[in-house]
Structures are given as structure tokens and as C-alpha cells.
Structure 1
């Protein structure tokens, strides 16, 4: 089961979408609310939201999606339970909320809209809400016995085992040639029919790489854990240095542009470099007391 979440400002439009009868919508959750139309629910949200008019994105929007197989076997009560437990996992019991199930497509899914302002007038912190939604949905799936995201991902990667091995084999061959930059690595992979796509966020921070091969598009860590962005950068950065690096580079050249590394990636690269230092010390017999 997958969970997605974000803060929004389009309260009535979003609730109207959730209530859309063209999508065979059913109300499966109503918390601290009395209204029976999108307009009435929106007005009730606004009454609470008036306690804090500085919060502009004052509604939380979530989508909770069981797998297609699980969705076919869930009845109205099961879907109610999922919505209720998700709200509890997100710590929103003290907030107005309404949830709908949509069955217009093969993939049954739940839309939940919650007031970001609590009944006490407190603003719900939405930092990392996307990741927290994923964790909440995974916890609910575990509690109820539904298929979890990691199980789906594991099955997918097992099905692609031979393709992943082929990408990893070519990756190893390219690294053996000791490319001195990411651009050189990308060019050599491309020459072997593997397209390496940098993942760069809106803040111009490099977060990792994806690999395209024979119609597949996988994250580096999905191909193999040694192909995650931080490990790849640490390896290539060492090739470009006469002396071993002791700290992670904060910026890198990529296709004639300078990109920054995300804080998360910098931390991981620093750990990888530290492990390399320890390994070299052990390999050369340093500190063994002989």
C-alpha cells in the first residue's frame, strides 16, 4: 500500500473532486464534521481555519492506495478501517477530516482531506509530509495484513534480476577504466547503451542517478546497493584526486554545469569515505600492534 501527502490551499475544489460521483465516490470517513456537501464541509473547515489566518496552505491532502490485487478484495468496512488507521498514524485525531474511496478505475484508492488547523487552533507541521505519509500507509498495511510497498518493490526487482545484473556488469567494467569525472562515466555508460540520468531537484541539488536500459528505468540503488548516488560519486571523486579524499565534495561538474549535493547525499558520501580510510588502514596493517 502506498501513501502520498501534501499541504494545499484549494480546499473546496479538492473536496469536490473527492466527492465526484462520476468516480463512484463513497464517503468512508467523516471526523468532527456534520455537513453533507463539499460546500458545507468547506465552510466547517473555514470556521476552524479562521483561528489561524497566517497559514495559507491550510488543508492536508492524502491519497492512500492499496495494490490492485488487495483493492479488489476490500469492502466498505475494510476501507473505513484503512482511512481511520491512517488518520491515527498521521496524528490527526484532533483535526476535521473527510475521506472518499474512488473505484472508477481498476485501482481502488482513498482520498483523505484533513484540516491542517486543529480544533485547538494549532497548525499541523507538514515537514516531510510525503515521506511520513508513506510510512503511515506502510504501518497500516502491516497492521491489517495488506501488501506493503517493500514487498511490491522486492517482487519487481526479482522479476528484473537478469537486467539488473547486466547493468551492474557494464557499470563494473566502466569503473575499471577509472573515469575521472561523472561526465566521463556517463559517456562511457551511454556508449554501452545504458543512459545515466542525474536526479536534480528544484534547488539544483544532485540527489542520485537513474539508469535506462532496454526500456527499463531504475534508480541506482534498485540496480545494486553499490550503485547508489553517494557510492558512485565517492568512487569517481577518488579517481580524480592525486591523494585520497578525506571529505565529500560539496559541488560537482555535470554537463558543464555546477550542481550541489543534497545534505543527505553529503552525509552518506562522508560515511563512505570514512569506511574507505578504515579499510585502507586495515589492509596496510596500520594499528595492528605488530
Structure 2
């Protein structure tokens, strides 16, 4: 479950959004309020807020979002309990408050509005209220056996890890078995294996690197694996000698039907590769003789 919070000044507009019939809004929590519509609730807030003219952002607005999976099973009673526990964690008891649940989307979420001004006229301290909202929501999720933000983040990390490994394996297969002769072939063979390789070209028409799009994820080469930077990919591609010489001499190459410039370090990398290949061939000829 995710918790977000902030102080606002537009109480009436926010209350109207929260209590919107088109969004199938339903009140699941209220404290020290009698009104039956956004206007009446706003007026009740205003009576207490009139005691403190210095505080301009005098309403606290929170959004509590269980995961889609958790939300499917939560009834209004449980949603009310989530709100009550959150209010206690934030130490906002004994204040005017109202919460609505929107059922118009698959992702159920709670909108909670609390009067920042207490009955004593003092304003609730909103230092780091966003961070504290996250922490309070985390505690409530743990108390009620709901999925926490950390668990969601870990699931995403695990998913990305698997995606990275799959892309790396496809890359190794393409390089080792399909043996592309240039970047165009590399992009083509990767695409045949369901990986879209997207060249990153800056405003100066210089090739900066590659991004890899696979199963809804878009990652830089270095994010996939350190061996998948543009330079390291170039080292493993068997470029034609004439093409390599042109890259080294002109700092340009043909990619997807266009001529793009390349960073000097890539040209240097390819130049070193040409030298190594030439040395190996010379040694090989010497051995034959």
C-alpha cells in the first residue's frame, strides 16, 4: 500500500473531487462532521480554520492506495479500518476528517481530508508530511497483512533482474551464433528474438549508445549488463575492415539507413581491434612460413 500526503489550501475543490458521484465515491470514514455534501463539509472545516488566519494551507490531503490485488478483496469495513489506523499513526485523532473511496477504477484508493487546524486553533505540523504518510501507510499495511511498498519494490526488482538476464542471454546467442557483421545486423537479429534495440542519438546526430526494449521494459545497455555498452558490443561484432577504417577515419557509420557520427572513444576502440586483428594475422602468417 502506498501513502501520499500534503497540505492544501483549495479545500472546497478537493472535497468536491473526493466526493464525486461519477467516480462512485463512498464515504468510509468521518469524524466530527455532519454535512451531507462537499459544500457543507467545507463550511464546517472553515469554521474551525477561522481560528488560525496565519495558516493558509489549512487542510491535509492524503491518498491511500492498496495494490490492485489487495484492493479486489477489501470491503468498505476494511477500507474504513485502514483509514482509522492511518489517522492514528499520523496522530490526527480528534480532528475533523472525512474519507472517500473511489470505485470507478480497477485500482481502488482512499481520499482522506483532515482539518489541519485543531479545535484549539493550532495547526498540525506538516514537516515531511509526505514521507511520514509513506511510513504510516507501510505500518498499516503490515498490521493488516497487506502488500507493503517495500514488497512491491522488491517484486519489481526481481522482475527487472529476470528481464535483464533474458536480454543478456538473447544478446549472447545473437553475438555467438548469428555473428552480426555490423550494428544494423545486430539490431535486426535482436529484433527477431523479440528484443527491440533502440539507438540513442543526440541532437548533434551522434550515436550515444543503445536502449533495449523487452516485455514492457526499456533499459540502457549498461543497466542490462556492463558488457552491453555500445563499445563492448562493437568489440564483439566482426565489422568489415573497410567499414571499420571509415569509422576510425571519419568518426561516422551507417545505421538504419542514415549516417551518424560516433564518439571518438568508439572509433579508438575499433582502431585497437583492427590493430589486434592485423597482429594476429601477421603472427599466423609467420608461423605458416
Partner of 1:113: 113
TM-score by length of 1: 0.59
| 2:210 partner SS | coil
Measured in 1, the distance between the counterparts of 2:129 and 2:141 equals 18
Consecutive unaligned residues in structure 1, runs of 5 or more: 169-186, 195-211, 225-290
Deviations 1:190-214 (A, max 9, x none): 83325xxxxxxxxxxxxxxxxx866
Residues 40 and 223 of structure 1, relative CA distance in 2, 3 Å threshold = farther
Residues 164 and 127 of structure 1, relative CA distance in 2, 3 Å threshold = farther
Partner of 2:64: 64
Residues 213 and 130 of structure 1, relative CA distance in 2, 3 Å threshold = farther
Q: Does 1:191 align with 2:208?
A: yes
Mapped contact 1:193–1:213 kept (Cα < 8 A) = no
| The structure with more radius of gyration | 2
Deviations 1:44-72 (A, max 9, x none): 10111011111111111110000001101
1:128 deviation in Å? 1.1
Partner of 2:87: 87
| 1:30 partner SS | strand
**How many residue pairs align between the two structures?**
188
Q: In angstroms, what is the RMSD of aligned CA positions?
A: 2.9
1:99 deviation in Å? 0.2
1:84 deviation in Å? 0.6
Partner of 1:50: 50
Residues 122 and 165 of structure 1, relative CA distance in 2, 3 Å threshold = farther
Mapped contact 1:45–1:115 kept (Cα < 8 A) = yes
Deviations 1:62-99 (A, max 9, x none): 10000001101011100110011111111100321100
Q: Which moved more, 1:159-168 or 1:108-117?
A: 159-168
1:18 deviation in Å? 0.8
1:23 deviation in Å? 0.7
Partner of 1:35: 35
Partner of 1:148: 148
Deviations 1:1-34 (A, max 9, x none): 0011111111111111111111111101111111
Mapped contact 1:24–1:103 kept (Cα < 8 A) = yes
Measured in 1, the distance between the counterparts of 2:119 and 2:38 equals 19
Map residues 3-18 of structure 1 onto 2, 5 A cutoff. 3-18=3-18
1:139 deviation in Å? 0.6
Measured in 2, the distance between the counterparts of 1:99 and 1:78 equals 13
| 2:22 partner SS | helix
Deviations 1:87-141 (A, max 9, x none): 1111100321100000100001000001111111111111211111111111100
Deviations 1:199-230 (A, max 9, x none): xxxxxxxxxxxxx8666468xxx999xxxxxx
TM-score by length of 2: 0.59
Measured in 2, the distance between the counterparts of 1:88 and 1:128 equals 17
